[in-house]
Structure 1
Amino acid sequence: MYPLNLPPAQILQLSSQLLCSGLALLLVGLAAAYGLEKQLNVPTLVLAHSLTLIGPSVLKIGYVLRLVAQQRLKDETCAHAIA
């Protein structure tokens, strides 16, 4: 049922890292693609624009992992409360 066989604490740590890196990719991409567009050559500008697409995707993956970890923590606490 769960996509990862890791403890919820490790999934939370992984999701936090993904959220931070996704935000960093997005901000760097935005700054380079729209702030430095006149100074960049075409391949670098294409890379900067691709970062504006990759960054939000990594953010979404990190958010979903955070939801998975919170659900697993909730399921564990419910299982302990029943037992």
Structure 2
Amino acid sequence: MWGSFSCPLRALQLANQLLVAGVLLLVSGLLGAYGLSAQLSIGSQVAAHSLTIIGPALLKLGYVVRLAAQQQLHGHKEPCCVAA
């Protein structure tokens, strides 16, 4: 995974994956925690509520990695590595 951060294009791809994963976890957590709470067991509700914390955390992490990758790419006229 550390090799992804050495190349801005790979870091940008990783950031996009983190953003998508964060949105999916957040939406599924919200549906489970608030939309389907009557049908779920207490353990499933706890898991769904934890997804409402993990999802936004991945969103924030993906956003910061994306900003850092775009900052690195901004200074280069040509791509510095092979597209991932």
Q: CA RMSD in A?
A: 1.1
Q: Which residue of 2 aligns with 1:71?
A: 71
What do the CA deviations read for 1:2-51 (whole angstroms, capped 9, x no partner)? xx642111000000000000000000000011010001111110000000
Q: What TM-score results when the alignment is normalised by the length of structure 1?
A: 0.84
Identity across matched positions, percent: 51
Aligned residue pairs total 74
Instruction: Work out whether 1:36 is the aligned partner of 2:36.
Output: yes
Gaps of 5+ in 1: 78-83
Gaps of 5+ in 2: 78-84
Q: Which has the larger radius of gyration?
A: 1
Q: What TM-score results when the alignment is normalised by the length of structure 2?
A: 0.83
Q: 1:61 to 1:76 in 2, by over 3 A?
A: same
